[in-house]
Amino acid sequence: MATTISDEMQVRAGRRSWKKPLCWAVALLVLSWAWQGAGIAPGLLLDNFDNMVVLAGDFVPPTFGNLMRYVQEMLVTIQIAIWGTLLAVICAVPFGLFSASNIAPWWINQPVRRLMDACRAINELVFAMLFVVAVGLGPFAGTLALFVHTTGVLAKLFSEAVEAADAGPMEGIRVTGAGRLEEIAFGLIPQVLPLWLSVSLYRFESNIRSATVLGMVGGGGIGVSLWQTLRGFDYAEAATIMLVIIVAVSLLDMLSQQVRKRFI
Amino acid sequence: MTAIISVERLDKSFGTHAALREVGFEIASGEMVTLIGPSGSGKSTLLRHLIGLTRADRHSHSHVRVLDRDVQHGGRLLGASREQRCRAGYIFQQFNLVSRLSVMTNVLIGHLGGMPRWRSLAGRFTRQEHEAALHAMARVGIEELAEQRANTLSGGQMQRVAIARALVQDAEVILADEPIASLDPRSAREVMEILQRINREDGRTVVITLHQVDVARRYCQRAIALKKGRLYYDGPIAGLTDTRLQALYEDAGLDELGTREDWPPATEPLHAVG
């Protein structure tokens, strides 16, 4: 008996002894492979250190002459994020429900999931370039781009919350004779609403950050000015714009934090 | 006797395990029946078949009929209007309330099956519906909890909310799946008394799965006993003699024989119902 147990332990120890180094070897291989592809060269940072000091110096002091114009453009950026997120939330509710396996049968949830994958796979900037062609330069193209991409993201997060919901309350409503829609409205939505609200707020925050670059491809907002100043090597001006962005993003993050606390 | 519930040749398997085999019985209007048996005997599975939460085996000869309506036939659920479905109510061991909604809303949910669609989905309940809900809550003694969130209640209170929901639904048949299994002895007795009053005063048919024989003896006239998925006994509860019980529970632990001592005697009066 004693020998079999120790044999087994040896076998187990043996299995562990070659598995662990293998995992490490694979991990190191992947990392060095990616290092090459990513073109990481710390030497360049040291070689160009003097240049970077000069570059950093160009940012200070920021020029505040056009501050009000940038604040105005930042407000447009926020407006783009508000509507881009809101439209996405509205559409993500049905799409999220249709891609949940406990609500919709596979022949509905599979196609809807693939559609949402597509919306998510393409970056907002790419969508913005497409919508600029469709509806012309300006904030509307940016809003549509955020809307489509965010719908894909939120539908997935919403459906995950739905799939994790407790089936008990829904059964409790089903047996009162209520229909499927009432079951969802009264048994499911109250369960998932806090999580839905939380991820929607998070997407709103990240959409403000995304909206600051939409202007670079003609999608409106503060990105236009940022792009122009950077291309014109006008770094003092760019510093002002970045400050405006940092302040606005921080303020809105704090605001959404407060909303989250209040409602959840 | 005119059967209000009839079950014929019910077969149900989970994988290769036969949960129910050729179970059949009839229940008449106004009866208070217990489904009894050791855990794993299939009594809860059987009860779920009566409301269509579980489907019998495909291509079996299973047939379930409740209140002149075919619930399922050969493993296929038969659709029914909301009005028809709300004639049977169901009470769960785990209550199955919506925990983030108030007690009032949870009770009002009992109305959903009988409301026009546009009102039910908008959650617009009329004054009469509110009054009916309050009346039901008063009958089970929880009217003062109306505004509380359901997840702040004790187990006994939650089960009373669930019963109030079935009362609001005005169900002619009440199916209760282990309604007292998660409750302390006192709450358990209160819940059993409420169910008994619904049976006696409103003439509603009540079917309860229980695993404690002494509770069944106190409240039910008839017992349907299951053993390993087969019908073992169907008749007056008095006919479940000690020898029969011993055979019924022969493989089960002693604690299921109903010899629990924490069941309180029915001497102190409970608050009025009705």
pLDDT single digits (tens) B77-123: 888 888 888 899 999 999 999 999 999 999 999 999 888 889 988 88
CB atoms within 10 A of CB A195: 17
- Does position B265 have pLDDT exceeding 70, yes or no? no
CATH 3.90.79.10 fits A67-263, yes or no: no
Question: Does B72 fall in a domain?
Answer: yes
Q: Looking at residue A5, what is its pLDDT?
A: 58
Per CB-CB distance under 8 Å, the chain A contacts of B165 are 172, 176
**A172, B94, B160 from B157: Cα distances, Å:** 16, 12, 5
Q: Cβ–Cβ of B112/A178 closer than 8 Å? A: yes
Please count the other Cβ atoms lying within 10 Å of the Cβ belonging to residue B122. Answer: 10
What angle (nearest 5°) sits at the alpha carbon of residue B48, between those of residues B44 and B52? 170
Residue B30 lies in a domain: yes
Answer for the pair B223, B34: CB distance below 8 angstroms, yes or no: yes
CA distance A251 to A75: 13
Q: What's the burial of B162, exposed, middle or buried (CB within 10 Å: 0-12/13-18/19+)?
A: buried
Q: What is residue B208's DSSP assignment? A: E
ipTM of the modeled complex: 0.84
Asked if A178 lies within 8 A of B83 by C-beta distance, the reply is no
What CATH number did the domain enclosing B77 receive?
3.40.50.300
The H-or-E segment that residue B223 falls in is: strand B222-227
Please say whether the beta carbons of B64 and B78 come within 8 A.
no
Nearest to A115 by CA among A156, A161, A164: A156
Q: Hey, CA dihedral for A232, A234, A237, A242, is it positive or negative?
A: positive
Q: Find chain B residues with C-beta within 8 A of A187's C-beta.
A: 98
Residue with tokens 């785990």: B94
CA separation for the pair B20, A136 (Å, rounded): 67
Chain A CB within 8 Å of residue B125 CB: no
Residues of chain B neighbouring A168 (CB-CB closer than 8 A): 92, 94, 96
List C-alpha distances in Å: B22 to A43, A73, B13, B57.
80, 75, 11, 11
Domain ranges, ordered by start, for chain A = 2-47, 67-263
Q: Note down the domain range covering B228.
A: 1-83+204-274
d(CA A223, CA A226): 5
Q: Cα separation of A225 and A240, whole Å?
A: 11
Element (H, E) at B202: helix B185-202
Kind and range of the H or E run holding B186: helix B185-202
* Interface check B109 vs A, CB under 8 A: yes
SS3 letters across chain A: CHHHHHHHHHHHHHHHHHHHHHHHHHHHHHHHHHHHHCCCCHHHHHHCHHHHHHHHHHHCCCCCCCHHHHHHHHHHHHHHHHHHHHHHHHHHHHHHHHCCCCCCCHHHHHHHHHHHHHHHHCCHHHHHHHHHHHHCCCHHHHHHHHHHHHHHHHHHHHHHHHHHCCHHHHHHHHCCCCCHHHHHHHHHHHHHHHHHHHHHHHHHHHHHHHHHHHHHHCCCCCHHHHHHHHHCCCHHHHHHHHHHHHHHHHHHHHHHHHHHHHHC
Chain B residue with the nearest C-alpha to that of A168: B96
What pLDDT was estimated at residue A13?
A: 60
- The model carries a pTM of 0.81
Q: How confident is the model at residue B267 (pLDDT cuts 50, 70, 90)?
A: very low
Q: List, for residues B171-207, the tens digit of each pLDDT value.
A: 999 999 999 998 999 999 999 999 999 999 999 999 9
Q: Within an 8 Å CB–CB cutoff, is residue B262 touching chain A? A: no
How many domains is chain B partitioned into structurally?
1
Cβ contact B214:B34 at 8 Å: no
pLDDT at B199: 94
Mean pLDDT value across residues B7-13: 92
Name the burial class of residue A10, with classes exposed (0-12), middle (13-18) and buried (19+) by CB atoms within 10 angstroms of its CB. Answer: exposed
**The pairing of beta strand B205-210 with beta strand B32-36:** parallel
Condensed to tens digits (0 to 9), the pLDDT of residues A18-49 reads 888 999 999 999 999 999 999 998 888 888 88
Low-confidence residues of chain A, pLDDT below 50? 1-2
Contact yes or no for B210/B125 (Cβ under 8 A):
no
Gap between the Cα atoms of B113 and B87, Å rounded: 9
Q: Which two tokens stand for residue B212?
A: 């404690």
Residues B36-85 have pLDDT tens digits of 988 888 999 999 999 999 999 998 899 999 998 899 999 898 888 888 88
- When scoring A176, A181, A184, A263 by the number of chain B Cβ atoms within 10 A, the one with the most, hence best to mutate, is A176
Cβ <8 Å between A177 and B166: no
Tell me if B199 is assigned to some domain: no
Report if residue B112 sits inside a domain.
Answer: no
Number of other CB atoms surrounding residue A236 within 10 Å: 15
DSSP B116: -
